[in-house]
Structure 1
Amino acid sequence: MSERPSAREVLTLVTDEGTFRELPHGTRHAPVDGPLGWPGYDASRARAAERTGEDESVVCGTAGVGGTRAVLIAFEFGFLGGSLGERTGDRLESAYRHARAHRLPVVTLIATGGSRMQEGMLALAQLQRVARESALTRAAGLPHLAVLRDPTTGGGWATLGAGADVVLALPGAQVGFAGSRVRPPDADPSAYTAEAQVAAGSADAVVRPEELRETLGRWLRLLTTPAPRAPVPRALGSAGLPATGWAAVGRARAPGRPRAHAYLDAYFAHRVALGGDRAGGTDPEGMLCGFGESDGRGVAYAAQTGVAARPAGYRAAARLIRLADRLGIPVLTLVDTPGAANDAEAERQGAGAAIAEVFAAVAAARVPITTLVIGEGGSGGALALAAPGNTWATPDSYFSVIAPELAAAILKRPPEEAAATADQLRIRPQDLVELGVGPARRAPPPPPPPPATCRPTPPRQTGSPKRPCGARAG
């Protein structure tokens, strides 16, 4: 393959052998030298066609990608820099409409310098057509994956690239709204790379060419074959219930307790990660988001990792939940945080607004959301991820309106009274059951090992007997 592969070379790289079928397209009648009468424009197009074998800057068709059929849009950079003109817009619109008509996901393989200057504002206006077709496709519940090739700049990045549900990029690709010839002279070129976009949360992953077909195929399977629900994970830690609130806190903070990675590894056959919040940030230490395969079907996940989650992590979780909801994919959330990050930088990054996004995404979701508290459940930063009516808790977890030490401080109690305060707060898993912080039913208890999880149940009727953690309610 050449250093800068052609559109058809890229299509061969990512599609299943012998499955690509090019979509038919009409030919728009164009006046001599285009709509602006740009001198020499016809000759430039003729030379580009002779050089590339294409008559436009995109090739559109359908094919299997790792066994999943999709509509593919591949840019030919050798044709006038992969630029967008009116005929490009025609083909893109037709491809998106075919995807909606046949309920197919869309994969864009982008290599473009932006809009075609020889067609002026008529070329730039094609971005509006693309944005509308993309929005209609999202509204139809179909996923859009983008692969950023070299280069991906201008309006192509700002619509077909950055506007995709999942954004993958080839190593070293030039990616940015500003192309190399229009940037400030002192601009740092390293900021305009695929790797920089992943670090900034604007792209999800850098993928090597030889891994692209498998990666795309995995993403497409997970996003198009949703599970009916997200089953409750098995608890992986201690089996017995804590005797006191302070004991529950100690268990949840124990260094050896199973964390999110262990739960996700046990729950999914494989998984792929969403890499950022699409607003300039990532929080890989505090929040893990992505999609995984459970019993052969797709489940989305947002998992806290036991540290204070940052605003970018909450925005990524909200992005994940909204995407899963649009695609009809159930969501698993794992709660494990002492509380949201509350330092000055977190406030500058919009901590409150980011947490509000998660509360809103969970509240508005139409798909089933299942929550398991696997460690610390610290205040609103934990509650934001908790599914109303379907929240479970492991025996080595607690859930509290605030950490006991902070509660004692607010009440102007000495530090040594934190343990007694923990009991007063009633934060043990069994306390949550008794308080009714959850639904009226429970899943069948898992056989030991590992130990069963606890699910809070509604408040007891007057005079009814107390129920142990995990007992059936109603």
Structure 2
Amino acid sequence: MPERLTARRTIALVTDDFMPASGPPPAQAPDGPLAWSGYDASRARAAERTGEDESVLYGTATVGGHPCVLVAFEFGFLGGSLGRTAGDRLVAAYRAAAERRLPLVSLVATGGSRMQEGMVALTQLQRVAAAAVGLRRAGVAHVTVLRDPSTGGGWATVGAGADVVLALPSAQVAFAGSRVRPADADPAAYTAEDQHAHGHVDALVPPERLRGTLARWLRLLSPAGAPGEPPEPPRALGSPALPASGWDAVHRARGTDRPRATAYLDAYFTERAVIRGDRAGGVDPGVECGFGLRDGRVIAYAAQHNGATRPAGFRTAARLIRLADRLGIPVLTLIDTPGAANDAEAERAGAGPAIAEAFTAIAEARTPVTSLLVGEGGSGGALALAAPGNTWTVPDGYFSVIAPELAAQILKREPDRVPETAEHLRIRPQDLVELGVVRGIVPPSPSPGQHEAPSRGGG
């Protein structure tokens, strides 16, 4: 079990400076709203032990030079539990972040709602949820750090409701606290590592790396000004020659030696940070989503890595696009997949709804989206990440309504007619331009001193 850092120690660990909000806590009825015998005495002992007057403190801070509103839970104060006063402070912090348009950073360590305040305590979760809606409407980001433990309503609202979720290794992270779980429950399911494996946590970050990691996220999630023009498509990294035939295009896109999405991301961005998972229990390692810096401009990206895209991949991409849209950050998508995964597990995980979610996220985005086909473009699994009217291709790419082999099977053609079928489908980059499916074919990176615009045609 990790060392349990106090709120103040955690704040000192991650911030350059911290200015707590001033003002005494509001007066309470004797022993709280339920007149719970001994509640005042418990609070007094907790205050003496921790030096805090409540389980939540908040204020303004800077992290790596980036200003933010910061909330920290003190687990030593009645288990970091949420009562009316803690709820007041959380709501005040969310509102301050929204009004000042500063990102919110929350350092969570809580056991849940405070029993001594009964349903009054539990209803603080509704207040926090409403405050979170206000933060989202203001277009302000929320990054959380899950300390040990992060359970109950604090995890289910403040923690899990954040845009980016970081966690300390080995921390307890679960809705069910340690004393209310089934006796035969798998203990691994209640750890930060398991939440990360199942797409509920974006990254596990040891304490010594927290400040740098938070500073990076605050830099990437606090873009200056409006999103502006759509991102320029990356330049082609493979062969500049166009394929002579449809079947040639297929072989080129499936070749093991052509550049993959990772190479394009490395060449395009000077820095990037990844979000992980669909927040519904799934992670697709074949889809990378995150935010990066290009020439000082923040751009969100979703990139397929050449395999069949699983439902979690589509949902993660949709999550990324919606977050970028809310924050006013432009989006780049890199398309490279033979299609959506079509095994039984994918169908049970909701392949159809997940693909629909990705289509919808792009269709409703107000922020500009640019797409680049960098390899295979197989059917709806590829088109789901394509920006209507602003999709480009490299010479190594092809787009097809269906794989030529499958098309030949459906048409009951002999295998030797697959190349002919590929030609009929008109899937070459130059065909796609002529059909109006893509805007143009991007050229290779120009030599120093040259400036080359994407091509809108091809032979």
Q: TM-score, normalised by structure 2?
A: 0.96
CA contact (8 A) 2:394 2:443 kept: no
The equivalent residue for 2:51 is 53
| Helix, strand or coil at the partner of 1:339 | coil
Find the aligned partners of 1:448 and 1:388 in 2 and give their Cα distance.
30
Find the aligned partners of 1:416 and 1:31 in 2 and give their Cα distance.
85
Matches within 5 A, 1:63-82: 63-82=61-80
CA contact (8 A) 2:235 2:443 kept: no
1:144-200 Cα distance to aligned partner (Å, 9 max, x none): 111000000000000000111000000100000000000001111111000100111
Q: How far 1:297 sits from its partner (Å)?
A: 2.1
The equivalent residue for 2:3 is 3
The equivalent residue for 2:93 is 95
The equivalent residue for 1:275 is 276
| Helix, strand or coil at the partner of 1:266 | helix
1:468 aligns with 2:458: yes
Unpaired runs of 5+ in structure 2? none
1:415 aligns with 2:405: no
Matches within 5 A, 1:248-397: 248-284=249-285, 286-397=286-397
Find the aligned partners of 1:468 and 1:343 in 2 and give their Cα distance.
37
Find the aligned partners of 1:400 and 1:444 in 2 and give their Cα distance.
21
Q: How far 1:268 sits from its partner (Å)?
A: 0.9
One-letter code aligned to 2:201: A
One-letter code aligned to 1:344: A
Q: How far 1:447 sits from its partner (Å)?
A: 2.1
| Helix, strand or coil at the partner of 1:396 | coil
Find the aligned partners of 1:424 and 1:298 in 2 and give their Cα distance.
41
Find the aligned partners of 1:281 and 1:215 in 2 and give their Cα distance.
24
Find the aligned partners of 1:352 and 1:370 in 2 and give their Cα distance.
24
Find the aligned partners of 1:96 and 1:363 in 2 and give their Cα distance.
30
Find the aligned partners of 2:80 and 2:238 in 1 and give their Cα distance.
54
1:14-63 Cα distance to aligned partner (Å, 9 max, x none): 111xx211112442221111111111100100000000000000110111
CA contact (8 A) 2:146 2:167 kept: yes
Q: How far 1:445 sits from its partner (Å)?
A: 7.8
Find the aligned partners of 1:453 and 1:416 in 2 and give their Cα distance.
39
| Helix, strand or coil at the partner of 1:276 | coil
1:255-281 Cα distance to aligned partner (Å, 9 max, x none): 011101111111111111111000000
Q: TM-score, normalised by structure 1?
A: 0.93
| Helix, strand or coil at the partner of 1:20 | strand
CA contact (8 A) 1:355 1:384 kept: yes
One-letter code aligned to 2:260: R
Find the aligned partners of 2:60 and 2:287 in 1 and give their Cα distance.
36
One-letter code aligned to 1:85: G
Residues 205, 445 of structure 1: CA spacing in aligned structure 2 closer, same or farther, 3 A cutoff? closer
CA contact (8 A) 1:393 1:453 kept: no
Q: How far 1:67 sits from its partner (Å)?
A: 1.6
One-letter code aligned to 1:225: P
Q: How far 1:444 sits from its partner (Å)?
A: 8.8
Q: How far 1:453 sits from its partner (Å)?
A: 8.7
Find the aligned partners of 1:310 and 1:451 in 2 and give their Cα distance.
38
**For 1:41, which of 16, 39, 42 is the aligned residue?**
39
Residues 448, 424 of structure 1: CA spacing in aligned structure 2 closer, same or farther, 3 A cutoff? farther
1:208 aligns with 2:206: yes
The equivalent residue for 1:464 is none
Find the aligned partners of 2:134 and 2:154 in 1 and give their Cα distance.
18
| Helix, strand or coil at the partner of 2:334 | strand
One-letter code aligned to 1:53: G
CA contact (8 A) 1:287 1:305 kept: yes
Give the aligned CA root-mean-square deviation in angstroms.
1.8
1:434 aligns with 2:434: yes
Residues 357, 350 of structure 1: CA spacing in aligned structure 2 closer, same or farther, 3 A cutoff? same
The equivalent residue for 1:461 is none
Find the aligned partners of 2:206 and 2:114 in 1 and give their Cα distance.
30
Matches within 5 A, 1:146-225: 146-225=144-223
Find the aligned partners of 2:452 and 2:415 in 1 and give their Cα distance.
34
| Helix, strand or coil at the partner of 2:279 | coil
Identity of aligned residues (%): 67
CA contact (8 A) 1:245 1:419 kept: yes
Residues 352, 335 of structure 1: CA spacing in aligned structure 2 closer, same or farther, 3 A cutoff? same
One-letter code aligned to 2:458: P
The equivalent residue for 2:401 is 401
Instruction: Count how many residue pairs are aligned between Structure 1 and Structure 2.
Output: 454
One-letter code aligned to 2:349: Q
Which 4+ stretches in 1 moved above 4 angstroms? 441-446, 448-455
1:227-261 Cα distance to aligned partner (Å, 9 max, x none): 63322101111110000000000000000111011
Q: How far 1:438 sits from its partner (Å)?
A: 3.6
Q: How far 1:443 sits from its partner (Å)?
A: 8.0
CA contact (8 A) 2:278 2:312 kept: yes
The equivalent residue for 2:446 is 447
Find the aligned partners of 2:71 and 2:380 in 1 and give their Cα distance.
43
Unpaired runs of 5+ in structure 1? 458-466, 470-474
Find the aligned partners of 2:45 and 2:76 in 1 and give their Cα distance.
10
Residues 424, 451 of structure 1: CA spacing in aligned structure 2 closer, same or farther, 3 A cutoff? farther
